[in-house]
Amino acid sequence: MEVLRRNFRELDFSLLGVLLVIAAYSCIALLAATNGKSGTDVPTHIVSKQVLFEFMGIVAMGFAAAFDYRSLRKFRWWLYGGTTFLLIAVFAMPAHQGAHSWIPLGLFGFQPSEFAKLAMIIAIAAYMANIDEQEFPDYSLKSSLPIWGMFVVPFLLTLKEPALGQALVMFAIVLTMYTVYAKKTHFWVLTVAVLIFVGLLVVVVAAYSTQASNWLINMEEVLVKHKLMHGYQLDRIITWLNPNYDLLNTGFNVHHAFLAVGSGQVFGEGLFNGSQTRGGWVPNQWTDYIFTAIAEEFGFVGSSTLVLLFLMLIYRLVKAGGSAQDSFGTYLVMGIVGMFAFQVFENIGMDMYMSPSTGITLPFVSYGGSSLIANYLAVGLVISVSIRKKKLRFS
Amino acid in position 363: P
| Residue 6 confidence (pLDDT) | 62
Torsion of CA 321, 322, 327, 329, to 10 degrees: -20
- pLDDT beneath 50, residues of the chain: 392-395
Between CA 22 and CA 104 the distance in angstroms is 28
| Residue 347 confidence (pLDDT) | 93
Between CA 395 and CA 387 the distance in angstroms is 23
| Residue 8 confidence (pLDDT) | 67
User: DSSP per residue over 258-308, as a string?
Assistant: HHHHHHTTTT-S-TT--HHHHTT-STTTTTTTHHHHHHHHHHHHHHHHHHH
- Structural contact between residues 157 and 144, judged by C-beta atoms closer than 8 angstroms: no
Q: How far apart are the first and last CA of the chain?
A: 32
Q: Compute the residue count for the chain.
A: 395
Residues with Cβ within 8 Å of residue 301, at least 6 apart in sequence: 266, 267, 268
- Among candidate residues 28, 14, 15, 24, the one with its CA nearest the CA of residue 54: 24
Residues with Cβ within 8 Å of residue 39, at least 6 apart in sequence: none
Between CA 111 and CA 105 the distance in angstroms is 10
| Residue 393 confidence (pLDDT) | 46
Is the N-terminal amide bond of 283 cis, ω within 30° of 0? no
Between CA 126 and CA 327 the distance in angstroms is 9
